[in-house]
Structure 1
Amino acid sequence: MLSLLIAVIVTAVVFDFINGFHDAANAIATVVSTGVLPIRTAVFIAGIFNFVGAVTGTAVAKTIASGFADPAVVSQTVVLAALIGAIIWNLITWWYGIPSSSSHALVGGLAGAVTAHAGLHAFRWVALVEKVIVPLVVSPTLGFLIAFFVMIALLWIVRRMRPDFVHKGSRRLQLVSACLMALSHGSNDAQKSMGIITLALLAFMAKGHHTGIPEWVLPHGKANEVPYWVILVCAAAIALGTMAGGKKIIKTMGTKIIRISPLQGFAAETSGALTILTASHLGVPVSTTHCINACIMGVGASKRVSAVRWGVAGNIVIAWILTLPLSAAISFVTMVLLRGVG
């Protein structure tokens, strides 16, 4: 059982790294596409702020650890199958340059694996609706609207300023907003891996296999408290993954949805960061991908509706809709294949 737990933890760290790699575009697509920073510098800075954001709290991790399934009915194999399903879906969407949600892939994977292991009743579907489905609709909508009105307000503020002054000033502001966006990404996305590792540890303890394991390794205090080593490992993994970057998705988000100016980039990143940080504070595992994409669409629509390439946006929305069921299906099949292990 211990060897299986170690395998689960390693897989979760790999998922966290891929999450950073896959979602690097969330924080830096606009700052790269506007030419404010070269891509190598941007991913390095984003990685640092991802790490900082990841160690700012654990509210989302606690939701993942105990919000969707009872650790008593979860096995290490269930967690492993959930991670494999999420990783496969992330790699598929990365290959095709589709900015899908790593968060929803993980939750969908957990739903599929738990269902295959213990039946439909074992997964908390009400929590899925409240914590995932509703935010799936609400967070991008809010991001779109906030970005739309922030952009209009900014245009009103700079309406009498010289264009070259606005351009230079907004480039500086975009450096700040990109860092804030990277911090918010770490504050939400890194916690998903923290939560899944904590769930694996809780399931390990529930089976009574933790005798002889040092106390600092296991959840402490309250039942779903995240160990400090888990926080640091996951923060480092997502930071390194972000530094590795993902050029295909950066290109899709930064140029294919709409070509944006530094001022628009500042508006999109600031709006996205505010939306995500609020969700992190509330313990809601939102999709940072959905939020920043919606914000980019919002700033584009504030100029004119036709400025947004709605065909590309439509393909992204289809990927959003398919992520939960397809990652669940992959994990369900994986769980069936792994049945009897651990």
Structure 2
Amino acid sequence: MLDIADELNRWLAEGREFAVATVVSVGGSAPRGPGAALAVDSGGTVIGSVSGGCVEGAVYELCTAALRDGETVRERFGYSDADAFAVGLTCGGVIDVLVTPVGADSVSREVFRAALSTAARGGTAALARVVRGPSGLLGRALLVHPDGSHEGGLGGHPDLDRTAVAEAGALLDAGRTGTVGLSEDGSHCPGGITLLVESSVPPPRMIVFGAVDFAAALVRAGKFLGHHVTVCDARPVFATPARFPEADEVVVDWPHRYLRSTPTDERTVLCVLTHDVRFDVPLLTEALRMPVAFVGAMGSRRTHEDRNRRLREAGLGDRELSRLRSPIGLDLGARTPEETALSIAAEIIATRRGGTGAPLTGGTTPIHRALSDTAA
């Protein structure tokens, strides 16, 4: 649900009533993972998606029914071998969808309001909802903050809330969205319950080193992919907000010095476009020793070989050098800055999702890899 937080937060501010359908589990090949959502307001307006189009019509009907009768329901959709035109996922997967009405008197409306407001402004919190369990608890929600405090409740035994807060806090610390099963003893519910925990965390960082023409196109690609994008260059005449108006930050500093001082994490993407060993070598020496998601450097194959030699002389070994994506980008035959940015963005996605970068035509590997738990 938090993937459409901006729109839903606006709907709540306008006083709209709506029903939201959220993917709570996935089996096999499916285009969207847990947390993906579609919402329908009382006027029939639709936002979001749960399947990329396969079952949206049926989910729409479930949402309008939930608005009408006020009941939270869980529905499963899968491919029908008997009738290829039956409602289902033609990709062969199975998804479970929880449909929750959010009316003026909805028990969880204020929890949703707090969660959506936090996510819309880029804050940090985890929304935990009961997606399997007794009918009286289905859809109940609580919001967990980074300090361990929480809003709302699941409506069961006090230990249930304490356990849910602890489990949601663990997923929030990891920046992950996924499901958590609570046993009968832990949940005090016969048969136990399952929670869907959606983590809202600040967007991952992309730091582009080198204020060159290719960087402007990569900034746009990074923003399109949902990154907080910084451009860094030591040359003040090139590193200006006027040249990179879509960047969140433009920093004038020596790249390696800036990298040492700025926050990074395991989701951070570092793209080195400087083309100058004065910048490249000290920067990459720092970057390849950091636990970040992606380190790539632009340059020819000859430049790459010379750069590797210099990095070895700087003390890097095979393990660190194996993390370097150089020359950066997938082989798309790119020529223009925009095409090159697309090739770099494609490699970042492939690295994050475990893709091969090969054409899907004629392939045999799954198109949609494991989606049971996704990084936020």
Give the shorter-chain TM-score range: under 0.3
TM-score by length of 1: 0.24
Structure of larger gyration radius: 2
Which fold has the larger relative contact order, with Cα–Cα distance below 8 Å and residues 6 or more apart in sequence? 1
